[in-house]
A and B are shown apart, each in its own frame.
Chain A
Amino acid sequence: MKSITHDNLLKLLAGLADEGKIVYAPVRKGQKVFFAPVQNMQPVVFDYIQTTESPKLVLFPRYEPLISFEYQGKEVKVDDPSAAAPAERVLFGSRPCDAMALKRLAEFFDRDIPDALIAGRQKALTVISMSCIKADADCFCTSTGSSPGDICGSDILLTPVENNGYAAEILTGKGASIADRCSSLFSEIPEIRKEQYLAKVEKAFSHEEVRKKLSHAFDHDIWNGASLRCIGCGACAFVCPMCSCFDIQEEGTAKKGSRVRCWDSCGFSLFTLHTSGHNPRHNQSERWRQRVMHKFSYQPEAAELTGCVGCGRCSRACPSDMNLKEQLQDIAANVETV
């Protein structure tokens, strides 16, 4: 098994940035930690349980042009971003739950009509994740099919071990190509049991059970009580690594413009508003139900894809303390399976 020291890890990342790859890493901005492109590794932080914004932005940015046009004299130049080769990117510091989320997100956007932009980015993305040695009360990855040391979705998974170093699992061809090119930075160590270093996240509920119960829960009272304190902002959706809703906007003037895809949230009251004035999800309870159902019932039914990896960001971000783990435990305990 391979291992890498902390200093060599920084050298590895700096080397990747020098090669011209865009390296996204966790950096502190104010009190919070965000993923941002870094040139030098000095601002990269390691002491976080979870970043505020998820790394989904490396695949599915906050906003992006889908097509742009510009008048050049009498000619119209049209730019289709999916035609260009996507930049090579490296995501460093994602948690195992994040890596799993990115994999599922890419799968989601690949269904029916594949999304060329997102597929292209995923192909050009290398994920170097960091196992969790700490977790907090909002984490529930073990209930959604992930775990603090899960390898799913990562190309390289690092686990902090003794002496300021990391055990490195090289998991895919992409990971191997980096490890081979920079082999001098790694050393060989005997196989270790990484579980001893990992955080303990107790299983709070079974997502299979929740899925079964939700199929009977559409008209259940549980949604009304739970959503009373929801104020209908989009914080949960925007920090979620798997929320994939978007809005299409036109930006620009008569001479130059773009059609832009922007993040959106099913929690917003106008999200489902029809032009006629009818709103099929009129109340916040219907919108909250949609959020939970979509992740734990509709998506699993339609594509065997649980729309949640248990990162807990929504619960940490919520201004009204809507706690997703608690809600799901409540469903598992109090909804009857008819």
Chain B
Amino acid sequence: MENTFEPKIVAYVCNWCTYAGADLTGTSRIKYAANVRIVRFPCTGRIDYNLLLKALALGADGIIVSGCHPNDCHYTSGNFHARRRWIVFKQMMEYMGYDMRRVKFSWVSAAEGAKWADIVNTTVREIRELGPAQRIQNEEFRMMNSEG
């Protein structure tokens, strides 16, 4: 059976490495899946985990978080802080039963245009197989909406 599900992927990336890397992907004329919506941040240190929760709640099927390799942060240590945050966040989400295969973390430098394309393509392929994300259902809310 043909899989017609096209996942929506939100990518939170840092300005200095991954955004520039994604730019390079384009100028290098490397094609990659169009499912990704890139949101640019100054630094991975600025990417709050609540942004991930909001994206998932508002309809994202998958998320990519990407920034500078360790020791390459434009602000010296933003990505180290981010790394700690993701270590705890990922395990907390798993503890609450969330399928964290939908959330990808990567380091993509400004020179790694090909890596960016690869990450997006792999993520899209994997999430297409996983299907639409499970959403937290506000059961009562819906019930009340319909019931008055």
Q: What is A's interface to B at a CB cutoff of 8 Å?
A: 22, 61-65, 68, 79, 81-87, 117, 120, 253, 258
Contacts and interface: CB of A to CB of B under 8 A. Distances in A.
B5 to A, nearest CB: 22
Which 7 A-B pairs give the minimum distances between C-beta atoms?
A: A84-B148, A87-B147, A81-B148, A86-B148, A64-B144, A65-B145, A61-B144
25 contacts: A22-B147, A61-B140, A61-B144, A62-B140, A63-B141, A65-B141, A65-B144, A65-B145, A68-B145, A79-B145, A81-B144, A81-B145, A81-B148, A83-B148, A84-B147, A84-B148, A85-B148, A86-B147, A86-B148, A87-B147, A87-B148, A117-B148, A120-B148, A253-B58, A258-B145
A63 B142 CA distance: 11
Most buried by A among B58, B141, B148: B148
Contacts of B58: 253
A63 B138 CA distance: 11
Nearest to B145: A65
A167 to B, nearest CB: 33
A253 B57 CA distance: 11
A240 B17 CA distance: 54
Contacts of A86: 147-148
A61 B147 CA distance: 13
A82 B148 contact: yes
Interface string B1-25: 0000000000000000000000000
Nearest to A65: B145
Contacts of A63: 141
Interface in B78-113: none
Interface string B36-58: 00000000000000000000001
Given A65-B141, A86-B147, A258-B145, 8 more contacts: A61-B144, A65-B145, A81-B145, A82-B148, A86-B148, A87-B147, A117-B148, A120-B148
A274 to B, nearest CB: 27
B108 to A, nearest CB: 29
Nearest to A89: B147
Contacts of A85: 148
A284 B140 CA distance: 33
Contacts of A62: 140
Nearest to A121: B148
Contacts of A82: 148
A83 B148 CA distance: 8
B145 to A, nearest CB: 6
A85 B148 CA distance: 7
A237 B143 CA distance: 25
Interface string B125-148: 000000000000000110011011
Contacts of B140: 61-62
A250 to B, nearest CB: 15
A254 to B, nearest CB: 11
Contacts of A258: 145
Contacts of A61: 140, 144
B105 to A, nearest CB: 26
A85 B144 CA distance: 12
Contacts of B144: 61, 64-65, 81
A258 B141 CA distance: 11
Contacts of B141: 63, 65
Contacts of B145: 65, 68, 79, 81, 258
Nearest to A64: B144
Nearest to B147: A87
Contacts of B147: 22, 84, 86-87
A258 B140 CA distance: 15
Contacts of A22: 147
